[in-house]
Structures are given as structure tokens and as C-alpha cells.
């Protein structure tokens, strides 16, 4: 059972990364246009280089 | 489009002392908001952005497909009027939006806040559930205690953050000595935390940390759904309001200056161009024209206007430019006085209690009494405070309105989404429930059942030669009747005759010479004819007897189907209009409505709706004009088209976004189904309680049973709501 001392903090840490990532996406307005973003991915305009 | 100016106070103190010159104000980039109702795919996004970015002055353009909008950052002197034609050339309908009326950021803050709380509750409940599952599958002694302590360490801060909306709501209800749905929720959460902490400190077997968290999570999910539905409706409603950028042309020393309507003062001279709407009440000082009063009175016949005619805000100028001296502005205009009537009628509607509220009223006291009784019962029976408190907590947790909290928002989200795709915007939270009860439908005529655009009716009665002259004259004017005549003639393959000296005389008609003879197309009196009771334009060729071109108001698409479908579903359909008797009779016969009233004043409309309500009928009012506003507010539920006046849209519960009236009948059906689903959801939630509550009262409930009951009921309720699609 000693392994739990590692496993529980690790699971909390990994979940925490997910939470922080989610909060980051919310704060940076990434849910403002879900429909548009779903379509933009099909657009081939910036396939070869990032948008300047 | 507004150009935001930086404050002129510069950093150096010397400049502050200097008088602020306009030149010193560094203009910042212009923010232009455009509404693009036609965009729907990735191709549209790419084209619109490419076209806009290629415009000189535009620094960045980004399309939001969800809101069907484009936000453009551009050089300060760029105007939306320059961008719209470019987009229209590319094949996209575009309208300018007033960025001031779009308060997207403030709305978004509340939604983001809820989403964060939801995320934290979800994260914490998953972790705690992981630990709880280990406990349920047999962790014992020190391991179990450690798991409980870790759970407590995660749960307490998570609840403190994510359950705040419930705490605040419950507190504000308790402060005014009332009960709402949030009171049992908060009580359950707090009691669960207290007993669990107590149990944990005594190395007890049962802790409800996971239950408290999943409860918060599910309820927040319900709140968020509810919020999203309303936010979508609100942003679309804002967009409608933002479409009318309130500007007026004020004459200052003979020069026109564009200013905001709110800056107009009594006595100002205002110029109204053909096609423009009167911004103020006033008197015409210069110019002749015709006025379309249909939005205010329901009359379709244009009214002749000359210097001295009194005009009201909201009327549309049709032919010639007019100069008006303002006699009432802003809140004092007849348009705004109408709002008082609305406020009186509105107070009647707030009596409606939503299904959720009536469920909560029944539910909250019941749960508290049940929980208190089981506490007392067990305290008397076993004499053990700890057991009694544990059981009381279990009862509260199991009965907690998880499914009830989801029952209504899950269904309204699904139904509103479905109606939004059909072009209906649900503005009011209980509009769907009220729509489901409707048994009588009252329609307005002008602008609601009819499109407000005239249609030529007697093309076949005229000779080809007359039609050629009429077409040539009609093409010289932008009057709605002329345009309708020209369109009908062109569709019939008529070529315009060759005319010379064509000129439009505002307020009367167009005049020209045809092979030496004077030809006129215009008002009856002007060409020497007798005014009939039908909308007509008269053609006089030389000294010959004038010929009448009669018009009828074109039906809105879907009007016939909507009326037929409503009648087929057993609803009584009425037509109440401010227009003349012959026009209303003709339309009523055409649509098969036997119950109609013509020449009704605004008060008559509201009184008729009130009378129907007093008979015990649930009235749906569909109308667009100022004369309908009081009736819209007095009705049980109301719908107005997007082309309606602002005041009418504000007074109505549902806004019809497209031109088609067809969705009205569908909406009634969807609303009826949605209400049925809501009731089903209440029943499902009750069935779960009926099974789980005896277990809890008997002291047999474990955290595992609580978790199972809560999750399955919430999920069943959500799935049931999805069946609506």
C-alpha cells in the first residue's frame, strides 16, 4: 500500500494539469466561437506556415 | 461604427493646461461590427475574411460563425458603409451593428465564471470519486481514514469555490424569509460536509464528500445550460437592437450633420431622406412626400405629407426629402409614451409561475419536513445524535433536486436550440411553457401576416401600350408602389416606353412627356381620378380617362400554412387590424379566418386580448407595430417578427428572425412537446425519490446508493430531454 503515497499525488497532479489547461482555454476566449473553430480546421490557408 | 478617441489629457502637465484641440486627440483604430446572417460554412469564413482584409484600412477582420458576425479593426476613417457593398458583391448580406449595443464582454464574464466553477467541481468530484470507489470496494481502517481525509482536503475548498452561486441565492432568499430551490441544496451540501467531517474524525465508515461534489457538479451543469440558452437569445436580441444605428441628420446653418438621435433637442431642424424613419415627433417645415404609417396604425395606404403636417417618430418617409422641426424628442415621443401602456400590461403577466417554481414550492418544504422527521424519529428511537444526523443528511442528499435542477434547463436548451435553427428566438425563460398552453391566436395584419410590400393585382386589365408607359414612369421613382409596378411589369416581359422630361414630384408621383403628350403616374387626386378604398396608383395618358393599378399587400411567406396549421390543431384564430375594412376582409377571406376586426385602435386590440383572457382563453398575440405593443404585452405569450419596431420586439416573448411565418405552428407543437418532457422529467425524478427515500429514512442508504441514485436520475433526465430533437 506504500505505493499510494506516490500514486495519489500523481493522480491529483495530472488532473490538476487538465484543470489548469481548461481554465487557460476559458480565459483566452477559446470557447467564443465553437462552430467557427470547428470549420476553420478544414481551411487549408495556413497549412504550410502559421498565420503571421 | 464608432471611432473611439483617446482622452486628450496628455502625459505632460503643460499639455493638460493647453486647450484640448481635436487635432491633438489621436484617433484610435475603428471597431466595426457587422452582422452576416447568410454565412454558414468554412468557405464563407475564408471568403469574408479575405475580402475584408483586402480592403484598404482594414488591419484585422475575424468572423465569428456561432454569432454570425464579423469584427473588423480598421483605420479610424474606415466606415462600415464602405465594407458592406464589398461583402454584398461577394454574395453576403451584411448589416452594420452598433458596437455600443453589443455588450458581449459583460455577458461573457458571467458565463465564464459559471464554466470555471463547473470545471473545478468536475475536477474535484472525479478525484474524490476515485478515492470513494476504493473505499466502497473495501479499503479499511487507516487506508479508509486517509482516503476520507484526502477527500475532505479536496472537497472543502472546491465546494467553497464552486457552490458559491447556490450559497448566494439561498442567502438572498432566506434574508427575505422565503424558500427557493437553493435552500434545500445548500442545506444538503452543508449537512453532508458536516456529518462527513464528523464521521471521518471518528474513523466512521460513511462519508458523503463525493455526493456533495457530484451534486454541485450536476446542478452547476443545469445552471450553465440555462445560462447559455438565455445568453444566446440575449445576444441575438441585442443584435436586433444594434441593427438600428440611431443616427439623424440635423440641419445646422443649412448644412446637414450626422448626429446621434439622443443628441437631438426640441426645436432642431431634422432632415429625413426618402426611405428614412422619423427620429422625433414634429412638424414638416419643408418638402412634400408620402408617409408610411403602417408600423404605428396598421394602415397600408401611404399618407400625403406637406409643410404643416404633424409627424410621429417611427413613420417612414417614402418619396421626397423632408425637413422637420422637432416638437418632442427621446422619451417624450409618442413612440416612447406607448411604453407606459406596455408596463401596465406587463405587470399582469408576471403572475405566471413557471413549472420549476411550482415544483420547488411543493418540494422544498416537503424535503425539509421529511429530513427533520427522520432526524427526530431516529433520535427518539436510538437516542444517538450521530446516527440521527447521519440519516437526516442521507435523506437530504438523496432527495436533493439534482434531477429537478436539470429537468427544466435540459429540455428548454434542447427546445430553444431546435427553434433557433428554425429562426425563432426565445427571449423569455417561461415563454415555452406559456406557448404550450395557447388555445387562441390573434394576428395583426400589416407587417405580420402581410410582408408590408405591395403587389400589383390587375396587370392583365391594361393594354400593352399603357403598361409600357407605366413601367417607364415607375422606373423613375423609388416609391414602393412604383417599384412593385415596375417589378410586375418586368416579370411580364414588358419593355419601357421611350419618355422624355421624366421627373418625380415628391408626394404626388412621376410625370413625363411621351410623343408630345403629358403622362402621369401617381396619386388619384393629382391625375384627376376618384380615390377608391383600395391601394392604387393612377396612370393618366394625355387627357384620357385615368387608369387604376390596384395593389394588395403581399402575404408573408408561410402565412397561409401557419394559419391553416394553427386552425387544424384546434386553435381559434383571430385577425385584428388597424387597416380599413375592405383590406382586412379581403385578407381574412383569403386566409380562411372568419373572426376579424378592422379599424381597431391600439386600445381596442389590447382590450380584445384582455376580453379573451377574461373568458379563460390563453392568447398568443402575433404583431409587429406600435399599435400592437399593448396587445403583445397583455397576451399570455407574444411573438413579433424581426422587422417589427423595437418597442414591439421588447414587449414580445419570442422573436421570429426570418421572413417565414411557418415556424409559428411548429413552435406551438415544440413547446407542447417540451412541456410534456419537463413533466416527464419531474416524474422520473420523483420515481427515483420514491425508491431511494424509504431506504434513506430506514437508515439503509450508503454513500454508494446515494451516488448511484443521483447520477442515474440526472443522466436519465438529460437523455429524456435530448429525445426532443
Q: What is the pLDDT of residues B469-492, one digit of tens each?
A: 888 888 877 777 888 888 888 888
Lowest mean pLDDT among B226-230, B341-345, B535-539, B602-606: B341-345
Q: Hey, are the CB atoms on A26 and B115 less than 8 Å from each other? A: yes
B42: nearest CB among A22, A32, A42: A42
ipTM over 0.95: no
Q: What is the pLDDT of residue B124?
A: 92
For B528-557, what is the mean pLDDT? 79
CA distance A27 to B175: 34
For B9-32, what is the mean pLDDT? 48
Band the pLDDT of B14: cuts 50, 70, 90: very low
Q: 3-class SS at B554?
A: strand
Band the pLDDT of B597: cuts 50, 70, 90: confident
Taking the CA of residue B414 and the nearest CA in chain A, the distance in Å comes to 17
Contacts of residue B563, defined as CB under 8 A and 6 or more positions apart, other chains included, come to B443, B449, B573, B591, B592, B593
Q: In B124-192, which ranges are E strands?
A: none
Name residue, grid cell 493522480: A11
Sheet holding B316-317, edge to edge: B303-305, B289-292, B316-317
Q: What is the pLDDT of residue A1?
A: 65
Q: Hey, are the CB atoms on B65 and A39 less than 8 Å from each other? A: yes
Q: What is the pLDDT of residue B149?
A: 92
Lookup: cell for B656:
421570429
**Which residues from A are below 8 Å from B42, CB to CB?**
39-40, 42-43
Lookup: cell for B723:
429525445
Indicate if the pLDDT at residue B24 is higher than 50.
no
- Could you give the residue numbers annotated as active site of B? 444
Lowest mean pLDDT among B4-8, B66-70, B230-234: B4-8
Taking the CA of residue A7 and the nearest CA in chain B, the distance in Å comes to 11
Interface of A with B (CB under 8 A): 1, 4, 8, 11-12, 15-16, 18-19, 22-23, 26-27, 31-36, 39-40, 42-43, 45
For B182-197, what is the mean pLDDT? 87
Indicate if the pLDDT at residue B86 is higher than 50.
yes
Give the nearest chain A residue to B64 (CA atoms).
A33
Q: B355-371, pLDDT tens digit by residue? A: 777 777 777 788 888 88
CA distance B320 to B312: 17
Could you tell me the end-to-end alpha-carbon distance of chain B, in angstroms, rounded to an integer?
Answer: 39
Mean residue pLDDT of chain B comes to 79
CA distance B165 to B182: 9
Q: What is the pLDDT of residue B205?
A: 82
Q: What is the pLDDT of residue B20?
A: 39
Specify the DSSP element, H or E, that contains B224.
helix B209-243
For B193-208, what is the mean pLDDT? 87
Band the pLDDT of B501: cuts 50, 70, 90: confident
With CA atoms as reference, report the closest residue to B166 among B146, B190, B138, B185: B185
Compare B2 and B682 and report the one with higher pLDDT: B682
Indicate if the pLDDT at residue B686 is higher than 70.
yes
Q: What is the pLDDT of residue A17?
A: 93
Q: What is the pLDDT of residue A21?
A: 92
Taking the CA of residue B68 and the nearest CA in chain A, the distance in Å comes to 9
Indicate if the pLDDT at residue B3 is higher than 60.
no
For B671-676, what is the mean pLDDT? 90
For B358-387, what is the mean pLDDT? 84
Indicate if the pLDDT at residue B413 is higher than 50.
yes
Q: What is the pLDDT of residue B15?
A: 40
CA distance B538 to B547: 5
Band the pLDDT of B92: cuts 50, 70, 90: confident
Name residue, grid cell 505505493: A3
Q: What is the pLDDT of residue B82?
A: 80
Could you tell me the end-to-end alpha-carbon distance of chain A, in angstroms, rounded to an integer?
Answer: 53
Indicate if the pLDDT at residue B288 is higher than 60.
yes
Percent of all residues in chain B with a pLDDT value above 90, rounded to a whole number: 5
CA distance B67 to B370: 47
Q: B100-140, pLDDT tens digit by residue? A: 656 554 456 778 888 899 999 999 998 899 888 888 888 77
Q: Hey, are the CB atoms on A43 and B46 less than 8 Å from each other? A: yes
For B14-38, what is the mean pLDDT? 57
Q: What is the pLDDT of residue B105?
A: 46
Indicate if the pLDDT at residue B17 is higher than 70.
no
Band the pLDDT of B13: cuts 50, 70, 90: very low
Percent of all residues in chain B with a pLDDT value above 70, rounded to a whole number: 87
Q: What is the pLDDT of residue B445?
A: 82
Mutation site, A32, A39, A46, interface B, largest B CB count within 10 A: A39
Amino acid at each position: 500500500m506504500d505505493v499510494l503515497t506516490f500514486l495519489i499525488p500523481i493522480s491529483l497532479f495530472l488532473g490538476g494539469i487538465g484543470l489548469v489547461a481548461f481554465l487557460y482555454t476559458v480565459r483566452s476566449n477559446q470557447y467564443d466561437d465553437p462552430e467557427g473553430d470547428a470549420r476553420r480546421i478544414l481551411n487549408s490557408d495556413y497549412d504550410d506556415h502559421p498565420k503571421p | 461604427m464608432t471611432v473611439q478617441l483617446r482622452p486628450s489629457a496628455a502625459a505632460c502637465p503643460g499639455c493638460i493646461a493647453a486647450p484640448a484641440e481635436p487635432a491633438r486627440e489621436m484617433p484610435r483604430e475603428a471597431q466595426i461590427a457587422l452582422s452576416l446572417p447568410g454565412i454558414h460554412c468554412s468557405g464563407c469564413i475564408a471568403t469574408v475574411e479575405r475580402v475584408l482584409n483586402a480592403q484598404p484600412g482594414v488591419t484585422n477582420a475575424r468572423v465569428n460563425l456561432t454569432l454570425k458576425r464579423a469584427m473588423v479593426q480598421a483605420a479610424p476613417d474606415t466606415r462600415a458603409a464602405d465594407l458592406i457593398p464589398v461583402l454584398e458583391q461577394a454574395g453576403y448580406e451584411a448589416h452594420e451593428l452598433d458596437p455600443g449595443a453589443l455588450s458581449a464582454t459583460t455577458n461573457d464574464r458571467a458565463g465564464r465564471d459559471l464554466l470555471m466553477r463547473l470545471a473545478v467541481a468536475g475536477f474535484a468530484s472525479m478525484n474524490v470519486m476515485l478515492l470513494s470507489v476504493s473505499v466502497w470496494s473495501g479499503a479499511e481502517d487507516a487506508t479508509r481514514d486517509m482516503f476520507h481525509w484526502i477527500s475532505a482536503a479536496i472537497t472543502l475548498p472546491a465546494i467553497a469555490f464552486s457552490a458559491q452561486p447556490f450559497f448566494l441565492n439561498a442567502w438572498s432568499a432566506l434574508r427575505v424569509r422565503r424558500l427557493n430551490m437553493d435552500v434545500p441544496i445548500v442545506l444538503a451540501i452543508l449537512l453532508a460536509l458536516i456529518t462527513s467531517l464528523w464521521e471521518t474524525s471518528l474513523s466512521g465508515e460513511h462519508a458523503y464528500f463525493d455526493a456533495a461534489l457530484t451534486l454541485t457538479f450536476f446542478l452547476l451543469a443545469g445552471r450553465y445550460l440555462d445560462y447559455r440558452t438565455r445568453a444566446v437569445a440575449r445576444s441575438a436580441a441585442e443584435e436586433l437592437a444594434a441593427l438600428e444605428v440611431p443616427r439623424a441628420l440635423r440641419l445646422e446653418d443649412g448644412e446637414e450633420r450626422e448626429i446621434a438621435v439622443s443628441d437631438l433637442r426640441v426645436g432642431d431642424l431634422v432632415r429625413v431622406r426618402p426611405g428614412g424613419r422619423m427620429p422625433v415627433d414634429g412638424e414638416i417645415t419643408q418638402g412634400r412626400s408620402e408617409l408610411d404609417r403602417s408600423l404605428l396604425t396598421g394602415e397600408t395606404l401611404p399618407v400625403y405629407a406637406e409643410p404643416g403636417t404633424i409627424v410621429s417618430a417611427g413613420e417612414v418617409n417614402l418619396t421626397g426629402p423632408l425637413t422637420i422641426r422637432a416638437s418632442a424628442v427621446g422619451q417624450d415621443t409618442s413612440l416612447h409614451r406607448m411604453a407606459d401602456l406596455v408596463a401596465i400590461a406587463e405587470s399582469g403577466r408576471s403572475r405566471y409561475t413557471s413549472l420549476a417554481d411550482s415544483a420547488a414550492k411543493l418540494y422544498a418544504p416537503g424535503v425539509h419536513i421529511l429530513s427533520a422527521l427522520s432526524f427526530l424519529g431516529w433520535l427518539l428511537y436510538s437516542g444517538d445524535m450521530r446516527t440521527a444526523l447521519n440519516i437526516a443528511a442521507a435523506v437530504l442528499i438523496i432527495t436533493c433536486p439534482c434531477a429537478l435542477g436539470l429537468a427544466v434547463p435540459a429540455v428548454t436548451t434542447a427546445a430553444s436550440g431546435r427553434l433557433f435553427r428554425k429562426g425563432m428566438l426565445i427571449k423569455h425563460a417561461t415563454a415555452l411553457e406559456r406557448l404550450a398552453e395557447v388555445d387562441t391566436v390573434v394576428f395583426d395584419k400589416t407587417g405580420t401576416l402581410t410582408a408590408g410590400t405591395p403587389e400589383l393585382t390587375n396587370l392583365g386589365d391594361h393594354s400593352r401600350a399603357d403598361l409600357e408607359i407605366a413601367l417607364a414612369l415607375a422606373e423613375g421613382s423609388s416609391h414602393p408602389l412604383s417599384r412593385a409596378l415596375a417589378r410586375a411589369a418586368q416579370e411580364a416581359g414588358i419593355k419601357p416606353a421611350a419618355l422624355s422630361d421624366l421627373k418625380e414630384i415628391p408626394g404626388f408621383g412621376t410625370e413625363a412627356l411621351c410623343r408630345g403628350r403629358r403622362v402621369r403616374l401617381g396619386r388619384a387626386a393629382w391625375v384627376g381620378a376618384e380615390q377608391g378604398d383600395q391601394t392604387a396608383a393612377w396612370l393618366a395618358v394625355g387627357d384620357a380617362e385615368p387608369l387604376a393599378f390596384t395593389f394588395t399587400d403581399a402575404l408573408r411567406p408561410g402565412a397561409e400554412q401557419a394559419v391553416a396549421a394553427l386552425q387544424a390543431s384546434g386553435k381559434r384564430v383571430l385577425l385584428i387590424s388597424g387597416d380599413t375594412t375592405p383590406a382586412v376582409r379581403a385578407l381574412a377571406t383569403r386566409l380562411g379566418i372568419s373572426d376579424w376586426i378592422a379599424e381597431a385602435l391600439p386600445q381596442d386590440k389590447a382590450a380584445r386580448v384582455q376580453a379573451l383572457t377574461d373568458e379563460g382563453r390563453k392568447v398568443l398575440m402575433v404583431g409587429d407595430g406600435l399599435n400592437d405593443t399593448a396587445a403583445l404585452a397583455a397576451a399570455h405569450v407574444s411573438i413579433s417578427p424581426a422587422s417589427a419596431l423595437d418597442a414591439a420586439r421588447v414587449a414580445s416573448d419570442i422573436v421570429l428572425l426570418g421572413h417565414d411565418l411557418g415556424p409559428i405552428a411548429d413552435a406551438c407543437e415544440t413547446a407542447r412537446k417540451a412541456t410534456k418532457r419537463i413533466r416527464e422529467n419531474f416524474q422520473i425524478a420523483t420515481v427515483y425519490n420514491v425508491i431511494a427515500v424509504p431506504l434513506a429514512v430506514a437508515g439503509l442508504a450508503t454513500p454508494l446508493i446515494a451516488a448511484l441514485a443521483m447520477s442515474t436520475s440526472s443522466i436519465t433526465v438529460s437523455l429524456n430531454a435530448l429525445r426532443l430533437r
